């Protein structure tokens, strides 16, 4: 019995795992990659946290969070739904559970109303800014509460809440777009190089000849400019 009580009192540190495919998104800044990894950690449930809550967790302003979310929406890396009367939900479209849930529901509006299964503590605590922020926002399926290690003395209880529906209508198509414009351009550029012979490196003699030609062309251009200046009336 004493060992069980001792195990409950052990402190547990939570962390944020950034997948390699997110780190490989060169078009994003490190701050945007970190925020995307945070959304990715929620899986199919999605992130219900407000901009104010996210700003407090990552020690930035709400304007910065809003700007990062806008960039992730433009690059089609997240799906966002803000139905009237419900909390905003954000999904990482590259998460396998998100894609599986989207295809399982067929992308229709037949799923339960968004926000109906949201636990009230996940939002009230974050919006009120109380000291129990981490306890309320840390749900099963999520391995982190913020980038910094945070100590929690209570064990999380597993829940069987039904995941909220994925964005429908005009936002549903964003979940089918897994590659950004930069990714497609990079792939097309690689395909265009397939089958082409690599240029042979120049020998030392060829390099010296090319260098002499470049120097001669530079001197010739300089002389031409000097003659034109002399012809101009003073």
Q: Quick one: 147 exposed, middle or buried, by C-beta within 10 A (0-12, 13-18, 19+)?
A: middle
Q: Tell me, what's the pLDDT at 183? A: 75
Instruction: Give the pLDDT band (50/70/90) at residue 148.
Output: very low
Model-wide pTM > 0.85: no
Q: Tell me, what's the pLDDT at 3? A: 55
Examine the pLDDT at 152 and tell me if it is beyond 50: no
75-114: pLDDT as tens digits = 989 988 887 767 888 989 888 888 777 655 544 433 334 4
In 3-state terms, what secondary structure has residue 49? coil
In 3-state terms, what secondary structure has residue 156? coil
Instruction: Give the pLDDT band (50/70/90) at residue 26.
Output: confident
Domain ranges in the chain?
2-190, 201-234
């Amino acid at each position: 019995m004493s060992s069980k009580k001792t195990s409950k009192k052990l402190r547990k540190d939570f962390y944020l795992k950034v997948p390699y495919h997110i780190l490989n998104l060169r078009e994003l800044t490190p701050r945007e990659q970190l925020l995307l990894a945070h959304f990715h950690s929620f899986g199919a449930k999605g992130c219900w946290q407000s901009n104010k809550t996210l700003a407090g967790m990552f020690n930035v302003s709400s304007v910065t969070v809003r700007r990062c979310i806008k960039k992730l929406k433009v690059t089609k890396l997240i799906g966002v739904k803000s139905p009237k009367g419900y909390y905003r939900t954000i999904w990482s479209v590259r998460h396998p559970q998100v894609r599986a849930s989207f295809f399982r529901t067929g992308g229709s509006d037949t799923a339960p109303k968004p926000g109906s299964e949201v636990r009230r503590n996940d939002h009230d605590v974050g919006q009120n800014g109380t000291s129990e922020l981490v306890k309320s926002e840390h749900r099963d399926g999520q391995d982190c509460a913020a980038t910094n290690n945070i100590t929690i003395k209570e064990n999380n209880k597993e829940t069987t809440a039904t995941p909220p529906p994925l964005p429908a209508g005009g936002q549903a198509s964003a979940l089918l777009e897994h590659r950004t414009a930069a990714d497609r351009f990079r792939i097309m550029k690689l395909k265009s190089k397939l089958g082409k012979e690599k240029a042979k490196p120049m020998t030392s003699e060829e390099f010296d000849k090319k260098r002499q030609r470049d120097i001669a062309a530079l001197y010739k251009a300089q002389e031409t400019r000097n003659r034109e200046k002399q012809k101009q009336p003073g």
